[in-house]
Each structure stands twice: as structure tokens, then as C-alpha cells.
């Protein structure tokens, strides 16, 4: 494939304020009216974005040493437990960690702690140490109130985000179901789905040519990097995903919202914008993909025998149909389809990345290593060797 | 549930349009800028589907403010 430009040439143009950068939505329209070749010649970079709730996030932080020193055995932020199984005063808080108070439970979880810290609110902290068991760290307990300014380093990690395309859910049962896509109404009452379709960065780089380890990104408004493939990354069977990292302090609160999915869990809304350099015609053609070309499946959320990847498939649809607001199911019923991902916020983030590039604040990096493609070990369910005492393990 | 109140407010709306699918009378419209209400269709306070099911807890205060107007 003949190269049109290099990343170095694009960065040189950015430094001179001459780079042509547009959103992927606009790029698709140009491709349709002027053709892909002309669009690729004229445009240097297109920005893609997604904004979705994700359970696979957390923050790793260093809280600073105490006098006398302590090595945390347990740590709690506003009564939400953080993981401390490493160095003395480091802690990792996950978005889905529920509150220790069962009455509050998912209504104030790890995601809410992170949001409070980001908004510079004061958070109660309690750390329990090893005490006399540990000679270097004799302190047994510490209790204090902290803000983000009191924390040394804070890095935000998304272990699984920007899933290429999500499936939709309907509900064949007579009960309302709480899922990670939100409430699914009984008797096929509605359809919920995830993903921003043609705006999604990994959809626009379907061959994984430009987005990979080392790609500089905008994660909820903060500059960060793709550090690898996300957990459950399975391009062949389900979808690709990415693992991301950025400095927590740089995140913009407007792109960072704690979520509570009723009867399911807490979660966190974050956004990702990725620049795609138009290096050759193939990359440009991939960016021209439209919603009606992106196929996904509608699954039955009531199928509780299987995990998400293996639930009963009701029908196949494309994102154009899903985004239209109504889909027709094989049983003849037309149901309202709604997303938990926000196209409004994704487009806002896309524009923000364009602005940062135009302001010479954001330069592109080449991908150091591509995300694994084929052959890749397919996802499998957990191997269970011991039967649960209650039989099937269900409540 | 004191904490729950803290997280209310229209400022939290992310414009995902999830509430659109829960409205039995199609009183919520999904637009390019986010959601909009067709108040003449809305059955509030008899139906509070969108208020109670919004997962970012964005609609509670918003709807009350709208009703007060």
C-alpha cells in the first residue's frame, strides 16, 4: 500500500499549525461526497471517540509515608476498600468495589470515591497496618481526611475499554433484569445496547494497523497511552478492546461520571478519543465505515445459564438500525432501542482532541506494537473443579 | 441514603438516551444535543421510570425543576 504521509510529517505539520484534522463523522461524509482518495489526500488526521460506562477501571496511588511508618494490610476510602497487596503505602481502588456498609453498597462505590477525589472533595481515609508483625513499619492504624492534592502519584487505569462493538440485550422473561447495560424490561419490553458504532476508534481501525501499544490518546480529557490489549480482548470471537493509562489529575471531571446500574453494580463513565493518522489509502478506507456496515447481535439477557459471550442470540442487527431508536425482533414485536454509550459526549471528546492538536498540545505517536490479532487464544469460561455447596451456586 | 442525593442533578446527564427506551409513552426524545422532554405526553408523577432508572442519577432534580416551572 502506497504511503501518503508519515507520522513525523504529520507532527511537523502540527508544529507549524498546518495539519488538517477533522472528526471521523465529518471524514465519512467527505468520503461519500468526494471519494476516499481525495479525502485521504487532503486530510492528515481523523479523530474517533467513544464514551461508555465501563467496569474495568481503577486508580493506583501513592499516599505518602507516615511517621512512624505503616505498611497497609487494608485501606478504606470513604468506607470503600482498596487493594493494598503491594508496596507499603500504595493502594489501588477499583470502580466496582462496593461500600463496606451493606445499606449503601453500590450506591457509593469505588467509582464515586474516584469522582469525589477528582472534584477535589475531601475523602475519609483509614489504613490498617501489619503493626508489630512488621519491624520496618510498626504503625498499626492511620485515619485522616485527604484530597487529591494530598496524594503523591495517582494513575488512572482502564483494563478494558473501547470494546469494538457491544451486543444488545432484550429480555424474554417475566422479570425486570438489571444488567451491565442497564435495566432490561420483561416480555421484550425494550432493547439496550452499548457502543458508539461508526465513531468507535477500534471500528475505524478494523485491521489494527495504527492503534496499538504506545498510541497517545485522550482519556476523559487527559493525555495518556494505550498500554496493551484489554482483558477479554478477542478480535476473532467477540471484539477487540484496549488497556489504557493516564495521569488521574489531568482527567476532566465532565468526562468522568460514577454510575449505578440498578440490581447490577456500580460502574464508571469515561471517554476515549484516538487520533488516526491517514498514512495510506487502506487506513482511509477503514475510516469510511458506516453504521449500517457494523453488524452486532441481540442477546437474551434472561439466559442466565451462560455468561455474556455465550448467551442465546435473538437476532442480528446493525448499528444504523439500533441508533434509529426502534428495532424489529424475530417475534414480530418492534421495541425501542436505546444505548448506554453517549454519542453526544463522544463527539464532544472528538472535538476536544481536534482542538488540542490544532493548539499544538497533542502530537501523534507511532504504535510500538500492534494489539494481538489472529491467532489468539479464544475466551473460555472458568474451569470449575469443585461443586458449590449450594448446588449451582445461585442465590 | 444521604450520599445518593449528592449525585443528583442535570449536570450529570451524559446524554446517552438510555431513558428513552424506558419511557412507556415516548415522552423523551433523543436529539443531537442529548435528551429532550415532550411534557404534554409525560405521565409524571404516576410514572417515574426515567427518574428512578437513570444510572447516572441525572434526572431526579431535573424533572422536579421542570415540573416546578
What are the residue ranges spanned by the domains of chain B? 2-68
- Which residue range is the domain that position A123 belongs to? 64-151
User: A295 and A364: one domain?
Assistant: yes
User: A288 and A354: one domain?
Assistant: yes
A211 part of a folded domain: yes
Contact A341 B16 (CB under 8 A): yes
Q: What cell numbers appear for A262 in the block?
A: 440498578
A36 part of a folded domain: yes
Query: How many domains does chain A divide into?
Result: 2
User: A337 and A295: one domain?
Assistant: yes
| Domain end (from A103, A122, A151) | A151
User: A86 and A230: one domain?
Assistant: no
pLDDT digits (tens, 9 = 90+) for A153-196: 999 999 988 888 888 999 999 998 888 888 888 999 889 998 89
DSSP annotation of A333 reads -
User: A187 and A262: one domain?
Assistant: yes
Lowest mean pLDDT among A228-232, A345-349, A360-364, B11-15: B11-15
User: A147 and A288: one domain?
Assistant: no
Nearest-Cα residue of chain B relative to residue A196: B16
| Domain end (from A124, A151, A178) | A151
What mean pLDDT do residues A333-359 have? Answer: 93
Whole-structure pTM value: 0.90
User: A292 and A172: one domain?
Assistant: yes
Task: Tell me how far the alpha carbon of residue A181 is from its chain's centroid.
Answer: 13
Closest of A249, A229, A227 to residue A238, by C-alpha: A229
Instruction: Indicate whether A90 pLDDT > 90.
Output: yes
User: A259 and A348: one domain?
Assistant: yes
A174 part of a folded domain: yes
**Cβ neighbours around A369 below 10 Å, total:** 11
**ipTM summary value:** 0.72
Q: Which fold has domain B2-68?
A: Alpha-Beta Plaits (3.30.70)
User: A232 and A113: one domain?
Assistant: no
What mean pLDDT do residues A133-151 have? Answer: 90
Closest of A362, A283, A350, A353 to residue A41, by C-alpha: A283
> A63 has which bridge partners?
none
User: A340 and A266: one domain?
Assistant: yes
Q: What cell numbers appear for A125 in the block?
A: 481515609
Q: At what angle do helices A343-358 and A24-34 cross, to 10 degrees?
A: 90
Task: Tell me how far the alpha carbon of residue A257 is from its chain's centroid.
Answer: 12
Q: Which helix (H) or strand (E) holds B62?
A: helix B59-68
Using a CB–CB cutoff of 8 Å, tell me whether A53 touches chain B: yes
Cα torsion A247, A249, A254, A258: sign: positive
pLDDT digits (tens, 9 = 90+) for B31-55: 777 777 787 888 877 887 887 778 8
* HSE value, Cβ hemisphere, 13 Å, CA-based, for A165: 26
| Domain end (from A151, A170, A190) | A151
Counting residues of chain A whose pLDDT is more than 90, the rounded percentage is: 66
What is the Cα–Cα distance from B26 to B3, expressed in whole angstroms? 31
A382 part of a folded domain: no
Question: Torsions phi, psi of B29, nearest 5?
Answer: -115, 135
User: A138 and A48: one domain?
Assistant: no
Contact A336 B18 (CB under 8 A): no
Instruction: Indicate whether A372 pLDDT > 70.
Output: yes
Burial state string for B49-66 with b = 16 or more CB within 10 A and e = fewer than 16: bbbebbbbbbbbbbbeee
Mark which residues 45-64 of B lie under 8 Å from A by CB: 52-53, 55-57
Nearest-Cα residue of chain B relative to residue A322: B21
Using a CB–CB cutoff of 8 Å, tell me whether B7 touches chain A: yes
User: A294 and A197: one domain?
Assistant: yes
Rg (C-alpha) for chain B, rounded Å, is 11
Query: Please, which contacts does B6-10 make with residues 24 or more away whose CB atoms are closer than 8 Å?
Result: B7/A112, B7/A258, B7/B56, B7/B57, B8/B57, B8/B58, B8/B60, B8/B61, B9/B58, B9/B61, B9/B62, B10/B58, B10/B59, B10/B61, B10/B62, B10/B65
Amino acid at each position: 500500500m502506497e504511503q501518503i504521509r508519515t507520522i513525523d510529517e504529520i507532527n511537523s505539520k502540527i508544529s507549524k499549525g498546518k495539519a488538517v484534522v477533522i472528526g471521523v463523522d465529518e471524514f465519512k461524509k467527505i468520503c461519500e461526497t468526494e471519494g476516499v482518495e481525495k479525502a485521504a489526500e487532503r486530510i492528515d488526521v481523523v479523530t474517533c471517540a467513544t464514551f461508555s460506562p465501563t467496569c474495568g477501571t481503577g486508580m493506583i496511588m501513592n499516599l505518602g509515608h507516615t511517621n512512624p511508618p505503616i505498611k497497609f494490610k487494608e485501606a478504606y476510602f470513604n468506607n470503600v476498600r482498596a487493594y493494598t497487596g503491594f508496596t507499603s503505602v500504595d493502594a489501588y481502588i477499583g470502580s466496582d468495589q462496593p461500600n463496606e456498609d451493606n445499606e449503601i453498597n453500590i450506591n457509593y462505590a469505588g467509582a464515586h470515591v474516584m469522582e469525589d477525589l477528582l472534584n477535589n472533595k475531601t475523602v475519609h481515609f483509614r489504613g490498617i497496618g501489619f503493626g508489630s508483625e512488621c519491624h520496618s513499619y510498626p504503625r498499626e492504624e492511620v485515619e485522616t481526611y485527604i484530597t487529591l492534592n494530598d496524594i503523591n502519584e495517582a494513575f488512572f487505569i482502564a483494563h478494558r475499554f473501547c470494546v469494538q462493538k457491544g451486543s444488545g440485550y432484550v429480555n424474554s422473561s417475566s422479570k425486570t433484569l438489571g444488567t451491565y447495560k442497564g435495566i432490561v424490561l420483561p416480555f421484550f419490553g425494550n432493547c439496550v445496547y452499548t457502543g458508539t458504532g461508526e465513531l468507535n476508534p477500534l471500528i475505524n481501525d478494523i485491521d489494527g494497523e495504527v492503534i496499538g501499544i504506545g498510541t497517545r490518546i485522550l482519556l476523559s480529557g487527559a493525555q495518556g497511552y494505550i498500554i496493551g490489549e484489554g482483558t477479554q480482548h478477542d478480535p476473532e470471537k467477540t471484539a477487540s478492546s484496549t488497556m489504557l493509562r493516564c495521569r488521574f489529575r489531568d482527567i476532566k471531571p465532565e468526562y468522568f461520571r460514577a454510575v449505578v446500574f440498578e440490581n447490577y453494580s456500580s460502574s464508571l463513565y469515561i471517554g476515549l478519543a484516538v487520533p488516526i493518522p491517514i498514512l495510506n489509502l487502506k487506513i482511509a478506507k477503514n475510516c469510511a465505515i458506516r453504521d449500517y456496515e457494523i453488524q452486532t447481535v441481540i442477546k437474551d439477557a434472561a439466559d442466565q445459564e451462560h455468561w455474556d459471550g455465550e448467551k442465546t442470540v435473538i437476532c442480528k442487527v446493525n448499528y444504523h438500525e439500533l441508533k434509529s431508536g426502534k428495532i424489529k425482533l424475530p417475534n414480530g414485536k418492534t421495541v425501542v432501542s436505546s444505548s448506554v454509550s453517549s454519542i453526544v459526549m463522544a463527539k464532544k471528546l472528538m472535538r476536544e482532541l481536534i482542538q488540542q492538536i490544532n493548539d499544538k498540545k497533542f502530537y501523534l505517536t507511532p504504535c510500538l506494537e500492534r494489539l494481538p490479532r489472529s491467532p489468539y487464544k479464544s475466551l473460555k469460561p472458568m474451569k470449575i473443579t469443585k461443586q458449590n455447596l449450594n448446588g449451582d451456586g445461585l442465590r | 441514603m444521604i450520599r445518593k442525593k449528592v449525585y443528583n442533578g442535570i449536570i450529570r446527564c451524559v446524554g446517552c438516551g438510555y431513558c428513552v427506551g424506558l419511557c412507556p409513552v415516548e415522552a423523551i426524545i433523543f436529539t443531537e444535543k442529548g435528551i429532550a422532554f415532550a411534557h404534554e405526553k409525560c405521565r409524571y408523577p404516576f410514572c417515574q421510570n426515567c427518574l428512578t432508572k437513570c444510572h447516572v442519577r441525572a434526572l431526579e432534580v431535573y424533572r422536579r425543576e421542570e415540573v416546578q416551572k
